[in-house]
Amino acid sequence: MRTAYTADQIRAAEHVLMAPLPEGTLMQRAASGLASVCADLLGRVYGKRVVLVVGSGDNGGDALYAGERLARRGAWVGAVLAGSRTHEAGLRAFTEAGGRVVDAAAVEEADLIVDGLVGIGAAGALREPYAGLVEAANAARAPIVAVDVPSGVDASSGRVQGAAVRAKVTVTMGAYKTGLLIDPGAVHAGAVELIDIGLGAYLPDPDVAALTGGDVDVLLPRPDKESDKYRRGVLGVAAGSDRFTGAAVLAVGGALRAGVGMVRYAGTGAPVAQVRSHWPEAVVTELDRPSIENVGRVQAWVLGPGLGTGDWAHELVARVLESGVPVLIDADALTLVAGDRGLLRRTAPVLITPHAGELARLIKADREQIEAARLEHARRAAAELGVTVLLKGSTTVVAEESRPARVNVTGTPWLATGGTGDVLSGVAGALLAQGLSCYDAAACGAFLHGLAGRFAASGAPLTAAGVASAVPRAIRAVSGEIA
């Protein structure tokens, strides 16, 4: 599991670690790792032009000491000193090794730019001359290596207000920062390289965690010799309408591909016909009224994709939410719940899977605010609504009150197409029916869905049906089998 921490958590751990160590020890460890990553990017260090953009804080010191090491290996290294002050010992070591102080124009001719302007304590928009230097560095042809966190990215949230470095690589010290895993900060960070400086033993419980394939493998339910279709979980799906028949087909398909023992589908005539045609293994109940009394026993429900938002759909949502089993609420059901929050007054677990616009309606916020601060708003929704939240988007965030948020590191931009959210609902719902908690079902479902999206796309456009078909391959991949 990849764990990440806020700036305050990192600083507190660093304070404890540094207390018994000689002054400058951590900076030298950080600089050594930074210089190594820079050398790997350069390939041949000798004769290459490296430009450091250096601020007043310790990140500037890290950059200067790394520049010293690169200069001693034969690189031409210049430093643009942007801060009101400069790390004195670092600058002295840098110039003694042959480094030179240069003006901002040097970034245009660089082979590599090192961003050491601001560190994890910075918040808000960058001011001049930092903002101008960031824009110049982003416009240059050379790749940028950011020290600890790209300048302009909030280390604790991933928020970006104004100019921010777009790094090819971010070399982060001691532990991952929350803002490196959550967009828009994650986009600015590029690839993230973690340098061990001895901080691990002093870190608290994480602020955010990202599951790995191994973590998902451990959590996934597996059939055994005693399994039958009922023990493997029965999922109810209330989705689709005469207008949106495909939503039902995709949600049921995602569930079946994710290993649930049985799917009981409930809907009206048109989607019922489509589900029967595509998935003969599903047990189908055609509803003549908005009731689930004849559907049969289930261990969890998926509720909402393509359901519509009229009175009939509202009544069906109410009946499903009166049941005593976990319910995943998506799409049209989220719209209905936003208009009638009383529907969420239940004791059984609830997992909601909104995109930013749907979450905005649920918590009376602006979509733009949610996109800019995804983690903050997912946590707010979890606390305010008393549910587990899977916020879909460029970074999928799973939030549950009093637990570390989880972010998903799989996926592809190709997943931004119609119907893929219906597949995700089916996959996560299947995991709920198989006994996972909302928290684990959301995180594992997002991981498998993202991985399936990668397999389905392979660098080209995908379809939602293709994502559903790739879910078994994703499960094999996390299990270590040939994908």
393 marked among binding-site residues: yes
Q: Say if residue 40 carries a ligand binding annotation.
A: no
396 among the known binding-site residues?
Answer: yes
Q: 71: annotated binding-site residue?
A: no
Distances (CA, A) of 6 to 27, 43, 54, 209: 20, 33, 23, 12
Residue 103 known to bind ligand: no
Q: Distance between CA atoms of 233 and 227, rounded to whole angstroms?
A: 10
Q: 130 labelled as ligand-binding?
A: yes
Tell me whether residue 3 is annotated as binding.
no
Amino acid of residue 347: T
Check whether 342 is labelled as a binding-site residue.
no
Is 421 annotated to bind a ligand? Reply is: yes
Please, what sign has the CA dihedral across residues 300, 305, 309, 313?
Answer: negative
236 in a known ligand binding site: no
The structure tokens 């569930």 sit at 255
Residue 408 known to bind ligand? no
The annotation status of 151 as a binding-site residue, yes or no, is yes
Annotated binding residue at 113?
no
| 156 marked ligand binding residue | no
Please check if 62 is assigned to a binding site.
yes
Q: What is the DSSP letter of 126?
A: P
Q: How far is CA 313 from CA 308, 320, 337, 353, 433, in A?
A: 6, 11, 11, 18, 23
Q: Is 59 annotated as a binding residue?
A: yes
480 is in an annotated binding site: no
58 is known to lie in a ligand binding site? yes
Is 120 annotated to bind ligand? yes
Instruction: State yes or no: 90 annotated in a binding site.
Output: no
What single-letter amino acid sits at 350? V
All residues at 6 or more sequence positions from 357 whose CB lies less than 8 Å from its CB, including other chains: 367
Known binding residue 98? Answer is: no
Q: Is 65 annotated as a binding residue?
A: no
Q: Which residues contact 78 (CB under 8 A, 6 or more apart)?
A: 49, 50, 51, 52, 99, 100, 101, 102, 106, 110
Cα–Cα distance, 315 to 310 (Å, whole number): 9
- What residues form the annotated binding site for (6S)-NADPHX? 58-62, 119-125, 130, 148, 247, 306, 355, 422
Binding residues for K(+): 59, 115, 151
Annotated binding site for AMP: 392-396, 421
Point out the annotated binding site. 58-62, 115, 119-125, 130, 148, 151, 247, 306, 355, 392-396, 421-422
